[in-house]
Amino acid sequence: MNYFNSKYFTYKNNELYCEGMSLKDILRETGTPAYVYSQNYFIDRYNELDSAFNEIDHNIFYAVKSNFNLSVIKTFADIGGGVDVNSEGELLRALKVGVPNDKIIFSGVGKTYDEIKIALEKDLLMIKAESEEELVLINEIATILNKTARVGIRVNPDVDPKTHPYISTGLAENKFGVDVPTAIKLYTERDRFKNIDYTGIDMHIGSQITTVEPFVSAVEKLSEIFLNLKKQGIKLKHFDIGGGIGVEYHHERIFSPSEFAKALIPILKKLDCKVILEPGRYLSANAGILIAQVLYTKVNHKKNFIIVDAAMNDLIRPSIYGAYHHIQPVQINKSCKDISADIVGPVCESGDFLAKDRNIQECKRGDYLSVMSAGAYGSTMASNYNARRRPPEILVNGSSFKVIKNRESFEHLFFEEYL
């Protein structure tokens, strides 16, 4: 079988390490299933993207939805990053770790009254509005609070990002943003929204995008709007290109940050404003793995099954997206042959699988498997289905580690339930 190796997750004497820590040593303390993250991966990816755009005035806002662990958010805040939040809960997590209010952007297609109110009360850098009715509500709440709301309109440029339909967000058929004519109309109706200060324009065309062309097309469309508004006296301070940079899950050809910057900077330089990037997956996906222990193996009608203690409630992406996550042994045993097997969990659903027909080292009960590229949309999408406890999260830095989220207790599962 093939092994996914990097400077952050690599084999030493046939045993998988995260940075300088043996995964087996970590698991003796935490048990399985467990998420393990490389802190230096987070930092290196941020710095790589930041450096690529150093020719222009820019800021990176980490998309918290990809991994909202407090220690992960703080890692990016400590090196100067802002954050993009999508709910009151994400906002409160950012504030808890000390992210400055003026380094937070509030996104989301369905913000509630209370979410808009707290965003205004906290005086965040910007609220991204996604409909005319939302703008009416923002203006109404800002008037009541006697505040001016800093707003950017999310424009849907109708560009195909060539990604999975569930994570495509920039097509006309998607629920996100407003179309170009509507955006122009709203920007120019300044007298209608007296308590709104339009400070930016925003796009986010999708996730796991593996070519720069969709970004170029969308940025060109939005830059035309930006410059036309400027001619009309509407001077926006922020041009937000969103996130969506793809990562390698299974031998995808991924563009580099320097290729990304080289394609976009000539367009962005003409705008003479602050450029905002909102990566999530790019910064976090390959920083994390999910470790599972083999419970049983069996053969049904000549088909091999490896039953592990991690399930769809721990990592749901394979079940809902058909997403590929490379899976490999924590301990390589060269005396074991490779087999083709379904790697499945204990949850009572046929959709409970981590991989199907996967080439993998033959396993036995008690072995450990590592599900790679699980740092984004893994723990954040986990649930308590089958009354299962969500896994702990561990952060590794060099040759030390700390548990940054405990495994849930069974008492937690009963919290706020009453007989």
* 218-227 residues labelled b (16+ CB within 10 A) or e (exposed): bbebbbebbe
- Tokens read off for 132: 């005319």
Q: Which amino acid is at 123?
A: D
Nearest to 401 by CA among 57, 117, 28: 28
Under 8 Å between Cβ of 280 and 62: yes
How far, in Å, are 188, 257, 275 from residue 271 at the CA level? 19, 20, 9
Cα(224)–Cα(236) distance, rounded to whole angstroms?
Answer: 13
Torsion angle defined by CA atoms of residues 79, 80, 85 and 89, in that order, rounded to the nearest 10 degrees: 60
Is 363 a catalytic site residue? no
Nearest to 61 by CA among 80, 46, 81: 81
Cα(153)–Cα(129) distance, rounded to whole angstroms?
Answer: 5
What are the DSSP E strand ranges found in 134-225? 149-154, 196-202
**Active-site residue among 273, 336, 348, 363?**
348
Cα(74)–Cα(59) distance, rounded to whole angstroms?
Answer: 16
Which residues are identified as catalytic?
348
